Amino acid sequence: MHLQWKNENQCITESGLHSAILKDWTLTYDQVSSGRFESFLREISFDGIQIYEEKFKPSIFQRGEALKNSLCLGLFSELSNEAIWLGKNVTGHEILSCCDGDEILLRTPENSAFYSLTIPFEMLGAQHFEHDNIRYNNILATDYSEKFYFKFINLLNSILENRNFLNQETTRQQVKCDILNLTDQFLTVSNEHFQPTKISVQKARQVVKKVCGLLQDNPDYCYSIDELCQLTFTSRRTLQNCFELITGQSPALLLKIIKLNAVRRALLKSTENACISNIAAQWGFWHLSQFSVDYKKLFGETPSQTLTQRRH
């Protein structure tokens, strides 16, 4: 038996550390709302199953991919406002799902709390995966998810609160059985009420993914809106609508936010004699005074203050 757990009782003050703590995941957390970053994380892994709970004080735009050969379910236990999951609004008791390397695009509001459950395919019934995996990169509406929502929340919280009981073989097997039975019931209902993603939402995801990829490949280049329209084969209005649908932000504002977050991560990983202006320029910030104003407005601290608290 392999049991591994992490419990971050202290406040996490940088998004890069939060993502690094999560076992096996490759996720990027970009802070969207103003103020100092604060998060908390609890995680446990046993017999191939992973459960974690994460809480964020600021609004976050999360990007990444689901784990390979696994199903992942997500539930918000706290929402101060609507979240956006792959272009679909989440208001409370919906259950999110993705699997096998699916793209993750999640915008959370301020003061959110989220549970995640990941289970390897080999533990789940083969009948659930006879269809295209796109069925499981979805969201189950509250009309159908309500009956499962509280059961999942109570079960996952109980496991995290009483993780030491998993050291007992009989208890661990019973917990695993409870998880698999509940997930099996959920997948049956989810399959029955599957609704294909609208073409407009699929298009919006592709556009946002394309632009984020351009930014990653050419971080120091400042794309104009017209250039982004040409590269994504969209009009200015369509580009705006795509970004608002997926991220809740305009393309210009989101790109600036992503770049500012990238600079902060670079500063926290930099050497003692790092030059702030050079790091900023690597992400297209050529006017240092304006960069410093925007940086402090988003993170509640100056670039030099970030530099002094870098990780060693």
Nearest residue to 104 via CA among 58, 60, 157:
60
Total-model pTM: 0.90
Give 107's Cβ-side CA count (13 Å radius): 22
Query: What's the order of all strands across the beta sheet hosting 27-31?
Result: 27-31, 60-65, 103-108, 83-85, 88-90
CATH number at residue 145: 2.60.120.10
C-beta separation of 84 from 145 below 8 A: no
The pair of structure tokens assigned to 180 is: 């698999």
Task: Say which residues have a Cβ less than 8 Å from residue 306's Cβ, sequence separation at least 6.
Answer: 264, 267, 268, 299
pLDDT digit string, tens, across residues 61-100: 999 999 998 999 999 999 999 999 999 999 989 999 998 8
CATH number at residue 271: 1.10.10.60
The percent of residues above 70 in pLDDT, for the chain, comes to 91
Q: State which of 158, 176, 192 marks the end of a domain.
A: 192
β-strands 88-90, 83-85 pairing: antiparallel
Q: State which of 163, 192, 221 marks the end of a domain.
A: 192
33 and 149 both lie in a single domain: yes
171 and 62 both lie in a single domain: yes
Rounded Cα–Cα distance for residues 140 and 183 (Å): 13
The domain containing residue 18 runs over which residues? 3-192
Which residue has tokens 């990941």?
A: 118
Neighbours of 85 (CB within 10 A): 23
255 and 280 both lie in a single domain: yes
Rounded Cα–Cα distance for residues 89 and 273 (Å): 44
Rounded Cα–Cα distance for residues 208 and 198 (Å): 16
166 and 31 both lie in a single domain: yes
Q: State which of 161, 192, 223 marks the end of a domain.
A: 192
Rounded Cα–Cα distance for residues 108 and 64 (Å): 14
Give 179's Cβ-side CA count (13 Å radius): 26
241 and 167 both lie in a single domain: no
User: Residue 282: enclosing H or E segment and its boundaries?
Assistant: helix 276-282
Q: What per-residue confidence (pLDDT) applies to 312?
A: 47
Q: What per-residue confidence (pLDDT) applies to 284?
A: 93
pLDDT digit string, tens, across residues 228-242: 999 999 999 999 999
The pair of structure tokens assigned to 306 is: 């970030």
135 and 252 both lie in a single domain: no
128 and 209 both lie in a single domain: no
C-beta separation of 247 from 105 below 8 A: yes
76 and 203 both lie in a single domain: no
124 and 17 both lie in a single domain: yes
User: Residue 105: enclosing H or E segment and its boundaries?
Assistant: strand 103-108
Residue 89 three-state SS = strand
106 and 133 both lie in a single domain: yes
222 and 121 both lie in a single domain: no
The pair of structure tokens assigned to 33 is: 């709302």
First to last CA, the chain: 34
Regions of the chain short of the pLDDT cut 70: 1-10, 126-138, 141, 310-312
265 and 140 both lie in a single domain: no
β-strands 39-46, 88-90 pairing: unpaired
How many domains are there within the chain?
A: 2
